Amino acid sequence: MSENVDTSRAPRRIGKPASRFSRLFESKQLGWGAFVVAIVFPFILATPYAMNIGTTAVIFILLASGLNIVVGYCGLLDLGYIAFMAVGAYTSGIVSKAWDLPILFTIPAVLVMCILAGLIIGGPTLRLRSDYLAIVTLGFGEIIRLTANNLSITGGPSGIYGIPGIELFGLKLSDSVPFYYFCVVVVSLLVLGSARLGKSRLGRAWRFVREDEDAAEAMGIHTYKVKLAAYIFGAMWGGLGGMLFAAHLSAISPQSFVFLQSALVLMAVVLGGMGNTRGVVVGAVAISLLPEFLRDMGNLRYVIFGVVLVAVMVLRPQGFWPSRAFEVERTDGESENADPGPGDSVSPAKGGTL
5-34 positions binding other proteins, by CB under 8 A:
5-10, 12, 14-15, 17
Choosing from 179, 208, 245, 257, the residue that interacts with other proteins (CB under 8 A) is 208
DSSP reduced 3-state for 172: strand
Distance in angstroms (rounded) separating the CA atoms of residues 337 and 270: 45
Which of 28, 108, 170, 344 binds other proteins (CB under 8 A)? It is 344
Alpha carbon distances (Å) from 78 to 133, 147, 217, 263: 7, 19, 22, 9
Which residue, 112 or 120, is less far from other proteins as judged by CB? 120
Q: Which of 19, 28, 336, 345 binds other proteins (CB under 8 A)?
A: 336
| Under rule CB under 8 A, residue 37 binds other proteins | no
346 is a site residue for other proteins (CB under 8 A): yes
Check if the beta carbon of residue 113 is closer than 8 Å to that of residue 91. Answer: yes
Task: Determine if 354 is a binding residue for other proteins (CB under 8 A).
Answer: yes
d(CA 62, CA 83): 15
47 lines the binding site for other proteins (CB under 8 A): no
Q: Which of residues 238-267 bind other proteins (CB under 8 A)?
A: 259, 263, 266
Give yes or no for residue 125 binding other proteins (CB under 8 A): yes
Smallest distance, Å, CB 260 to other proteins? Answer: 9
Asked whether position 175 contacts other proteins by CB under 8 A, the answer is no
**148 Cβ neighbours under 8 A, 6+ residues apart:** 86, 90, 154, 159, 254, 257
Q: Is the Cβ of residue 209 or residue 244 nearer to other proteins in the bound state?
A: 209
Nearer to other proteins, 162 or 342 (CB): 342
Q: Does 348 bind other proteins (CB under 8 A)?
A: yes
Residue type, 199: K
Residue 85 contacts other proteins per CB under 8 A: no
**Burial letters for 33-63: b for 16+ Cβ neighbours within 10 Å, e otherwise?**
ebbeebeebbeeeeeeebbebbbbbbbbbbb
